[in-house]
């Protein structure tokens, strides 16, 4: 009984298979003959797996004759009447003609299915593909069959035989295979440049032009006045800093000046080395710097005091009005300035910062020039140079402190304008 059922099922399956029309695939247009042959294999597999067709025996002879007829035509096209004649000869009901056409940096794979009996085109489809790897052929074949019939099963890529290259161009051969297990549809890999998770370039460039303000507070003892003096000042610096955007190391130049108290003016010119640390990336940074600066200072001293120490008797021959006036004396300072700031970025190219700086100061003596009465000087020479004794130093034993906290150093704040 069981054997009878099995035989009946086999006969039914055979009858169903025999009822499907037979089809062969002919591909043309690719520069490499192996590409045509591979496309025939993948296209035939997709058509058979769609359930619409079955393969045909003697396909090699049929395709060889078809290629021979094509080569006879000057245009290279295959006439429908030729297809009809050869189809009847070899028992082919339908012929699927696939053509590969390079276009605009890609490839257009166009397919038409021709009824051999009526020479009528019964279905058409197309797909564009780079055709760089074998999965591109699989994907194109499936999309074309789905366009024509609305169904397609994906074959397992590893079970499809690789086409072997032929030494000389010959008529394409049609390879038939049993239906193959489906696999997930091949999806071309997406470019990481279009991925929404790709990290963008930082919005801020740490290089900048800046304006900085600092308010020193200096305590010193004025010997000849016999009292301690506190001077509060305000100085301004304008600078430029170039910071490398990857290592965040850089160098800066600055220039500025201001007043210390009501009687001492100063000028500053320097360079500093910088390192920026991100505390909250793109929002808050901590710049650390080490600066080196030349800072000359200027103040006045009464001529009556000068008369007590200048080694020039003719000074006393000046008029009383002259002796009651003041003259300018100056000194040079050389500063080493470590500093640390907290920097807050606001908007696209703008940041505010504030921080602490400390100055290690190396100072010259105060000095002035004087043209001695009756002495001839070369043109352009301002006069003789005289040093001021330490007792007349207005900044003797000076200490720079943070406001009234008596802590060394000073506070600064400023604004930076960033650029790319």
* 13 domain residue, yes or no: no
Q: Are residues 314 and 404 in the same domain?
A: yes
Domain limit, last residue, from 133, 158, 188:
188
- Comparing CA positions, the residue from 301, 292, 258 lying closest to residue 273 is 292
Q: Identify the pLDDT of residue 253.
A: 96
* 201 domain residue, yes or no: no
Q: Are residues 95 and 224 in the same domain?
A: no
- Comparing CA positions, the residue from 81, 76, 100 lying closest to residue 25 is 100
In the chain, the number of structural domains is 2
Extract the tokens encoding 219: 């305590």
Q: Identify the pLDDT of residue 223.
A: 66
- Cα 93 to Cα 68: distance, rounded to the nearest angstrom: 20
Q: Are residues 160 and 306 in the same domain?
A: no
Q: Are residues 182 and 254 in the same domain?
A: no
* 9 domain residue, yes or no: no
Q: Are residues 145 and 212 in the same domain?
A: no
Q: What is the number of residues in the chain? A: 420
Q: Are residues 303 and 338 in the same domain?
A: yes
- Cα 208 to Cα 199: distance, rounded to the nearest angstrom: 24
Extract the tokens encoding 171: 């008529």
Domain limit, last residue, from 188, 222, 253:
188
Q: Are residues 35 and 133 in the same domain?
A: yes
Low-confidence ranges of the chain (pLDDT < 50): 4-5, 8-9, 11-12, 14-17, 155-160, 170-177, 186, 188-202
Which runs of consecutive H residues, i.e. helices, occur in 301-391? 303-309, 320-323
Q: List the domain range (segments joined by +) for residue 342.
A: 208-418
- Cα 37 to Cα 175: distance, rounded to the nearest angstrom: 8
**pTM of the predicted protein model:** 0.50
- Cα 67 to Cα 170: distance, rounded to the nearest angstrom: 9
Q: Is 47 left (phi over 0), alpha (psi -120 to 50) or beta?
A: alpha
Indicate which CATH number applies to the domain containing 342: 2.40.160.20
* 366 domain residue, yes or no: yes
* 184 domain residue, yes or no: yes
CB 268 within 8 Å of CB 323: no
* 126 domain residue, yes or no: yes
- Cα 18 to Cα 96: distance, rounded to the nearest angstrom: 19
User: Across-strand partners of 114?
Assistant: 95, 121
- Cα 114 to Cα 122: distance, rounded to the nearest angstrom: 6
* 236 domain residue, yes or no: yes
Q: Are residues 326 and 412 in the same domain?
A: yes
* 135 domain residue, yes or no: yes
Q: Are residues 278 and 149 in the same domain?
A: no
Q: Are residues 264 and 408 in the same domain?
A: yes
Q: Are residues 71 and 173 in the same domain?
A: yes
Indicate which CATH number applies to the domain containing 102: 3.40.50
Q: Identify the pLDDT of residue 209.
A: 93
Q: In b/e form, how buried is each residue of 70-85, taking b as 16+ CB within 10 angstroms?
A: beeeeeeebebebbbe
Quickly tell me which residue has 């920026």 as its tokens. 276
Domain limit, last residue, from 159, 188, 217:
188
Extract the tokens encoding 368: 């002035």
CB 116 within 8 Å of CB 92: yes
- Cα 405 to Cα 399: distance, rounded to the nearest angstrom: 12
Q: Are residues 262 and 371 in the same domain?
A: yes
């Amino acid at each position: 009984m069981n054997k009878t059922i099995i035989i009946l099922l086999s006969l039914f399956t055979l009858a169903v298979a025999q009822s499907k029309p037979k089809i062969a695939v002919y591909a043309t247009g690719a520069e490499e003959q192996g590409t045509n042959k591979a496309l025939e294999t993948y296209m035939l597999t997709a058509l058979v797996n769609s359930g619409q067709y079955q393969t045909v025996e003697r396909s090699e002879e049929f395709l060889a004759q078809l290629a021979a007829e094509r080569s006879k035509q000057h245009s290279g096209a295959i006439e429908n009447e030729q297809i009809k004649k050869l189809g009847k000869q070899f028992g082919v009901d339908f012929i699927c003609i696939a053509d590969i056409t390079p276009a605009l940096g890609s490839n257009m794979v166009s397919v038409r299915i021709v009824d051999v009996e009526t020479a009528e085109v019964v279905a058409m489809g197309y797909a564009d593909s780079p055709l760089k790897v074998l999965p591109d052929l699989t994907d194109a074949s499936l999309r074309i069959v789905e366009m024509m019939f609305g169904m397609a099963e994906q074959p397992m890529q590893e079970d499809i035989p690789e086409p072997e290259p032929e030494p000389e161009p010959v008529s394409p051969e049609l390879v038939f295979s049993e239906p193959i297990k489906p696999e997930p549809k091949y999806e071309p890999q997406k470019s990481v440049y279009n991925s929404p998770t790709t990290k963008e370039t930082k919005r801020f460039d740490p290089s900048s032009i800046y304006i900085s303000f600092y308010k020193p507070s200096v305590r010193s003892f004025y010997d000849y006045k016999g009292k301690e003096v506190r001077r509060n000042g305000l100085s301004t610096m304008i600078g430029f800093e170039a910071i490398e955007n990857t290592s965040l190391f850089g160098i800066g130049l600055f220039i500025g000046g201001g007043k210390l108290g009501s009687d001492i003016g100063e000028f500053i010119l320097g360079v500093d080395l910088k390192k920026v640390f991100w505390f909250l990336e793109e929002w808050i940074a901590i710049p650390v710097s080490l600066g080196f600066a030349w800072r000359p200072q200027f103040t006045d001293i009464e001529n009556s005091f000068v008369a007590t120490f200048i080694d020039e008797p003719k000074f006393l021959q000046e008029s009383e009005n002259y002796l009651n006036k003041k003259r300018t004396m100056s000194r040079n300072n050389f500063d080493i300035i470590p500093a640390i700031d907290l920097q807050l970025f606001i908007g696209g190219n703008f940041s505010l910062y504030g921080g602490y700086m400390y100055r290690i100061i190396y100072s010259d003596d105060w000095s002035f020039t004087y043209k001695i009465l009756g002495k001839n000087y070369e043109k352009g020479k301002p006069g003789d140079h005289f040093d001021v004794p330490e007792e007349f130093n207005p900044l003797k034993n000076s200490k720079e402190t943070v406001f009234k906290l008596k802590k060394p150093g000073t506070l600064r704040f400023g604004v930076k304008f960033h650029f790319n």
